[in-house]
């Protein structure tokens, strides 16, 4: 079968991970708006169930924590027929590698890389005989350009990009598309927004709805990669790809290290909550807390 040119979301069965986060909720609304039948997953049942009820249309909610290595297979079995997989769940995992325990490294790798790979393997095997299906990975511009204080996070996102591009070619003869979304700094919801960090002057943001629109476009047109960021950040990611040493120097001069440290130890949302307090009230963030160096 030839590589398909995209698919219609109307009536498609879509499995969305990380649905109880802010970006996940925007994704769910956009996918439901396109006529999809949704299975929402995440750790927070108190968020998932009201969201599923609000979206209607037979939307189901399944609690799943992807740090559990057995969760991905259980989730695919419980979800039933999947026409589109949108893998959105992830850990921030910023900070110096030296500050991480081996257990924390394994957890970040399991959630950010292993879980979407396992889910893609299981889902694509069931999709291949039907054709015109889609796998979508919600990644980060950190998968295109490395930055200081984020080596572990960069590793998971670079790995995901390579996996997705190669898998796209492998699944091409079967009519299963593979797309990756690369958000930059997203305001109002998600990992960056939860920190409350102030960006260097001139660095712009995009909204959760922008990520959702890009995801729908990727599904409907089978686009390999879409960056969701202002022009400056998109250009910076390109430079980071072919001139990483130059990119690192530019980031240092622009205050990138300060922003990275702030993301690690910053505040989440209004009221000056610390990242630890944010996780206490929103466990679906799955944030690995870092202490600011003395």
Catalytic sites, residue numbers: 153
d(CA 16, CA 83): 11
- Residue pair 136/215 in contact by the 8 Å Cβ criterion: yes
Match 């980071």 to its residue by tokens. Answer: 240
**Residue 186, φ and ψ in degrees, nearest 5:** -110, 125
Handedness of CA 134, 115, 46, 61 (dihedral sign): positive
d(CA 137, CA 156): 12
Beta partners for 134? Answer: 84, 177
Neighbours of 191 (CB within 10 A): 25
**Residue 219, φ and ψ in degrees, nearest 5:** -70, -50
Tell me 114's DSSP state: I
- Residue pair 181/136 in contact by the 8 Å Cβ criterion: yes
Residue 239 token pair: 């430079």
């Amino acid at each position: 079968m030839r590589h398909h040119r995209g698919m219609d979301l109307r009536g498609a069965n879509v499995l969305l991970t990380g649905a109880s986060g802010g970006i996940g909720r925007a994704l769910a609304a956009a996918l439901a708006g396109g006529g999809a039948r949704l299975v929402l997953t995440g750790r927070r049942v108190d968020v998932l169930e009201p969201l599923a009820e609000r979206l209607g249309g037979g939307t189901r909610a399944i609690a799943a924590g992807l740090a559990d290595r057995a969760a991905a297979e259980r989730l695919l079995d419980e979800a039933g027929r999947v026409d589109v997989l949108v893998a959105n769940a992830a850990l921030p995992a910023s900070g110096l590698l030296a500050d991480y325990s081996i257990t924390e490294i394994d957890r970040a790798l399991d959630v950010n890389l292993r879980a979407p790979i396992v889910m893609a393997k299981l889902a694509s095997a069931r999709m291949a005989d039907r054709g015109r299906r889609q796998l979508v990975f919600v990644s980060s511009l950190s998968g295109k350009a490395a930055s200081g204080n984020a080596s572990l996070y960069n590793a998971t996102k670079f790995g995901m990009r390579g996996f997705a591009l190669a898998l796209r070619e492998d699944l091409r003869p079967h009519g299963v598309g593979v797309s990756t979304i690369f958000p930059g700094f997203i305001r109002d919801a998600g990992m960056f927004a939860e920190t409350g960090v102030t960006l260097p002057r001139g660095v712009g943001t995009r909204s959760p709805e922008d990520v959702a629109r890009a995801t729908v476009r990727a599904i409907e047109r089978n686009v390999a990669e879409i960056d969701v960021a202002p022009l400056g950040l998109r250009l910076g990611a390109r430079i980071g790809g072919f001139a990483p040493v130059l990119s690192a120097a530019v980031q240092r001069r622009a205050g990138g290290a300060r922003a990275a440290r702030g993301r690690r130890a910053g505040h989440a949302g209004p009221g000056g909550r610390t990242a630890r307090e944010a996780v206490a009230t929103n466990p679906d963030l799955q944030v690995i807390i870092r202490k600011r160096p003395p």
